[in-house]
Amino acid sequence: MHIVTANEMYEIDRFAIENAGVDGTILMENAGRAIAEKVVSLVKKSEEILVLVGSGNNGGDGFVIAKTLLNQGYKPTVLQLAANEKIKGAALYHKQLFINYGGTIQQLQASDEITVFLNNTDVVIDAMLGIGITGTLRPPFDQVIKAVNEVDKLTISVDIPSGVPADEGVLDFIGIEADYTFVIEEPKMSVFLEHCTAYYGNWSVVKIGLPHQAYANQIKRNTWVEQKVRTTLPSRDAFSHKGSHGRGLIIGGSRQMPGSVAMTALASLRAGSGLITIATVKEAISSIAQQCLEATFLPLASQEGVISERQQIDISTYDAIAIGMGMGRKKDTGLLTRKIVAKAKVPVLIDADGLYHISEELSVITNRKSPTILTPHFGEMAMLLDTTIQNVIAHPFSLAESFSRKHGVYLVLKGPNTIVSDPEGNQWVNTTGNAGLAKGGSGDVLSGILLAMIMQRQKMTEALSNGCFIHGKAADNLVVKKHSEQDLLATDVIKGLASVFRTFS
Ligand SMILES: NC(=O)C1=CN([C@@H]2O[C@H](COP(=O)(O)OP(=O)(O)OC[C@H]3O[C@@H](n4cnc5c(N)ncnc54)[C@H](O)[C@@H]3O)[C@@H](O)[C@H]2O)[C@@H](O)CC1
Ligand SMILES: Nc1ncnc2c1ncn2[C@@H]1O[C@H](COP(=O)(O)OP(=O)(O)O)[C@@H](O)[C@H]1O
Ligand SMILES: [K+]
C-alpha cells in the first residue's frame, strides 16, 4: 500500500479524471458502494442507521452508501449537516439519485438537535468530512463530532474519521473516534501518525478502481507487509558456512548496563548472523558470557565502568558493526565512538547512547562512504534534530525524510508505526508490533535483528524493513499465545523469533 498526503490523493484523482477519462461520479459510486458492502457485513437490517453527510465529496460518498443500503432493505436516516446550496457536482448528482431511489433527507436545523438523532440510532456512518478539511471545525461539525464521541454507538467513518487531518503537522483537533474506518484507495498519512492512529479504530482499505499508473511511481511512502517479507527475505543456502552469514561486531555495554549488548548479540544470532563478537568493558564480560554462550569477546579498557577512549580496536575483520547500546554518555566513550564510526568501512548501525555521541558531531556520519543506519526513537530523533519531541510527533515523515537525505543515512524512526527512510527519501512503514514492546530492551533486540539482516543477501532497505517486521511479528505472535502485552519482555521476543522465521522458511 502507498501512503498518501491529501494533495497526492487529489493529484491521483485529477489524473484519473483528466488523463484516464474516469467520471468523478463513478469514483464516488465505487467508493460508496464498496463501503456499503462493509457496512452490510457489520450491521443487521433491524438496526437503525444514521448517515451524517457533509457538504463535500465525503458527504457524496455518504449519499451513495445510503442509496446502496436502502436498495438492500435497510432504512437509513440521512442527516445533511450543510445547506442545500453547498452540495454540488458529483455529491449533488448522488444526492438526487438517493432521492430518486426513494430516500428522504433530513436537515439539521440547530446543533443540539443531534442528540435526538443519536439517541434514536444504533449505528452512525460518518460521511461528514474527508481529506478536504481546512482550519478548525466550523459549526455544526464541532458539536456534532463531540456528541457522536459521547454516545456509545457503532461508528463507521468514510475515508477518514471526520475532523482528523489527513496530513502531518496538526496536533490539536476534534475528531470522530471511529470503531471502523474504511479508507478510500490508499491510506492517508495520518493513519500512521501516533496522535491520529487511534481515531481510525479498526481500519482497512477499499479500492475504487483508480488507474494504477496514476501513482505507482510518484508516491515514495509505502507500507511493509508480510507479502513483501515473503518476496525479499533470503533463505539460508544449504551449502553456506558461518562466514556466509556475516561476522558482526557489537560495541557497547558498561559495568552498569551489561544486559543490553547481551540482548543485541543473542537477537542477532537468533536472527541468522554467522558470528557475533561483543566488544565491551572487560569487567562486564563474565556476566554477558553467561547469557550468550555463542558470542566471542573483545575486552575493552574501561574508566569508571564505561568504555574509555584510550585504546585501539581492530574493526577490520567484521562485515558490519552495531554500536551504542548501554555504553553510557561519558565524553571519553563518545570520542571513541566517533572515531570508530568515522573509520569503519562497513555498514554501521548506531543506536541508543551511540546516537547521543553522534548528535554532538553529525558530520561524522555525513562524511561516511559506507552505509550508516541510525535507529532513534522519537526522543532520540528530537535530540539528533535539536528539536522537541512534540515536533517529531507532529512531523515524523518529513523530518525523517529530510534527515536521511541531508546526511545520506538510513533511518529507522522507532515507534508504534516505525518508519524506515533511505537517503533517496523513500519510506516504508512497518505494520507489526504491539504495546508489549514499549519496554526497556526492545530496542536492543531490534538492533541485533537489524545487524543480522544487513549482513544477509538483501537490499539495505529490505533488510531494515524485514528486521522491523520480524521484531514486531514476534511480539504479535507472543501476545496471542504465550504472553500478554503486560508481561512480555525483550528476552521473550528473542525466543519468539523462531515462530516468525519458521513461517518464512
Ligand atoms: N479518489 C478519491 O479519493 C475519492 C474521494 N472521495 C471522497 O472525497 C473526499 C474529499 O472530498 P472534498 O475534497 O470535497 O472534501 P471533504 O468532503 O473532505 O470536505 C470539503 C467540504 O468540507 C467543508 N469544510 C472544510 N473544512 C471545514 C471545517 N474546518 N469545518 C467545517 N467544514 C469544513 C468545505 O466547505 C467543503 O464543502 C474524500 O475524503 C473521499 O471521501 C470519493 O468521492 C471518491 C473518490
Ligand atoms: N506501542 C508500541 N507498539 C509497537 N511497537 C512498539 C511500541 N512501543 C515500542 N515499540 C517498539 O519497541 C522498540 C523500542 O525501542 P527503544 O525505545 O529503543 O527501546 P529500548 O532502548 O528501551 O530498548 C522499537 O522497535 C519500537 O518500534
Ligand atoms: K469522514
User: In angstroms, what is the span from residue 73 Cα to ligand 1's centroid?
Assistant: 28
Q: What is the pLDDT of residue 239?
A: 81
Residue 399 DSSP code: H
Q: How confident is the model at residue 145 (pLDDT cuts 50, 70, 90)?
A: very high
Rounded to 5 degrees, φ, ψ at 423 are -65, -15
Could you tell me which CATH number the domain at 238-374+416-504 has? 3.40.1190.20
6-219: CATH, from 1.10.1760.20, 3.30.450.40, 3.40.50.10260, 3.40.50.300: 3.40.50.10260
- 407-424: average pLDDT: 98
Q: How confident is the model at residue 288 (pLDDT cuts 50, 70, 90)?
A: very high
User: In angstroms, what is the span from residue 249 Cα to ligand 1's centroid?
Assistant: 53
Is 89 annotated in some ligand binding site?
A: no
Grid coordinates representing 496 are 519468539
Q: What is the pLDDT of residue 188?
A: 98
Domain limits, the chain: 6-219, 238-374+416-504
Give the pLDDT confidence of 6-62 residue by residue, as tens digits: 999 999 999 999 999 999 999 999 999 999 999 999 999 999 999 999 999 999 999
Give the pLDDT confidence of 308-319 residue by residue, as tens digits: 998 999 999 999
Q: What atom in ligand 1 is closest to the CA of residue 129?
A: 18
Q: What is the pLDDT of residue 389?
A: 98
Among 18, 26, 57, name the best residue to mutate to test ligand 1's pocket (greatest count of ligand atoms within 8 A of Cβ): 57
Distance of alpha carbon 156 from alpha carbon 154, whole angstroms:
7
Closest CA to 213 of 24, 22, 28, 29: 22
Q: What atom in ligand 2 is closest to the CA of residue 376?
A: 18
Q: What atom in ligand 1 is closest to the CA of residue 16?
A: 1
78: which strand partners? 51, 105
Q: What atom in ligand 1 is closest to the CA of residue 31?
A: 44
Question: 21 with 95: CB under 8 angstroms?
Answer: no
Grid coordinates representing 379 are 526522543
Whether pLDDT at 66 is above 90: yes
Among 329, 437, 494, name the best residue to mutate to test ligand 2's pocket (greatest count of ligand atoms within 8 A of Cβ): 437
Q: What is the pLDDT of residue 2?
A: 95
Grid coordinates representing 402 are 529530510
DSSP string, 232-283: HSPPPPTT--GGGG-EEEEE---SS--HHHHHHHHHHHHTT-SEEEEEEEGG
Question: 367 with 341: CB under 8 angstroms?
Answer: no
Among 129, 134, 167, 176, name the best residue to mutate to test ligand 1's pocket (greatest count of ligand atoms within 8 A of Cβ): 129
Q: What is the pLDDT of residue 242?
A: 74
Beta strands per DSSP E along 105-219: 105-107, 123-127, 154-158, 180-184, 202-206
Q: What percentage of the chain carries pLDDT values higher than 70? A: 100
Is 443 annotated in some ligand binding site?
A: yes
Q: What is the pLDDT of residue 482?
A: 92
Q: What is the pLDDT of residue 52?
A: 98
Q: How confident is the model at residue 240 (pLDDT cuts 50, 70, 90)?
A: confident
Is 131 annotated in some ligand binding site?
A: yes
Q: Is the CB of 131 under 6 A from ligand 1?
A: yes
Q: Is the CB of 415 under 6 A from ligand 1?
A: no
Q: Is the CB of 275 under 6 A from ligand 1?
A: no
Distance of alpha carbon 126 from alpha carbon 58, whole angstroms:
9
User: In angstroms, what is the span from residue 489 Cα to ligand 1's centroid?
Assistant: 44
User: In angstroms, what is the span from residue 54 Cα to ligand 1's centroid?
Assistant: 8
Residues 6+ apart with CB under 8 A from 346: 315, 318, 319, 320, 321, 370
Q: What is the pLDDT of residue 236?
A: 82
Helix (H, G, I), strand (E, B) or coil at 24: helix
Q: Is the CB of 175 under 6 A from ligand 1?
A: no
User: In angstroms, what is the span from residue 148 Cα to ligand 1's centroid?
Assistant: 19
Q: Identify which ligand lies nearest to the alpha carbon of 417.
A: 2
Whether pLDDT at 238 is above 90: no
- Taking CA atoms only, the protein residue closest to ligand 1 atom 25 is 133
Give the pLDDT confidence of 253-282 residue by residue, as tens digits: 999 999 999 999 999 999 999 999 999 999
Whether pLDDT at 243 is above 90: no
123: which strand partners? 49, 154
Q: Average pLDDT, whole number, for the chain?
A: 96
- Taking CA atoms only, the protein residue closest to ligand 2 atom 21 is 443
Q: Is the CB of 8 under 6 A from ligand 1?
A: no
Q: Is the CB of 3 under 6 A from ligand 1?
A: no
Give the pLDDT confidence of 67-119 residue by residue, as tens digits: 999 999 999 999 999 999 999 999 999 999 999 999 999 999 998 999 999 99
Name all residues whose Cβ lies below 6 A of ligand 2.
352, 377, 414-416, 418, 433-435, 437-438, 440-444, 446, 471-472
Q: How confident is the model at residue 451 (pLDDT cuts 50, 70, 90)?
A: very high
- Taking CA atoms only, the protein residue closest to ligand 1 atom 22 is 56
Judge if 6-219 and 238-374+416-504 fold alike in CATH terms.
no
Closest CA to 182 of 162, 155, 204: 204
Q: Is the CB of 54 under 6 A from ligand 1?
A: yes
Q: What is the pLDDT of residue 214?
A: 77
Q: What is the pLDDT of residue 268?
A: 98
Q: What is the pLDDT of residue 90?
A: 97
Q: What is the pLDDT of residue 232?
A: 96
Give the neighbor-by-neighbor strand order of the sheet with 320-323.
221-224, 427-430, 419-421, 410-413, 372-374, 348-350, 320-323, 247-251, 275-281, 296-300
Q: What percentage of the chain carries pLDDT values higher than 90? A: 95
- 443-468: average pLDDT: 97
User: In angstroms, what is the span from residue 439 Cα to ligand 2's centroid?
Assistant: 7
* Neighbour-count burial for 329-364, b at 16+ CB within 10 Å, e otherwise: ebebbbbbbbebbeebebbbbbbbbbbbbbbeebeb
Q: What is the pLDDT of residue 184?
A: 98
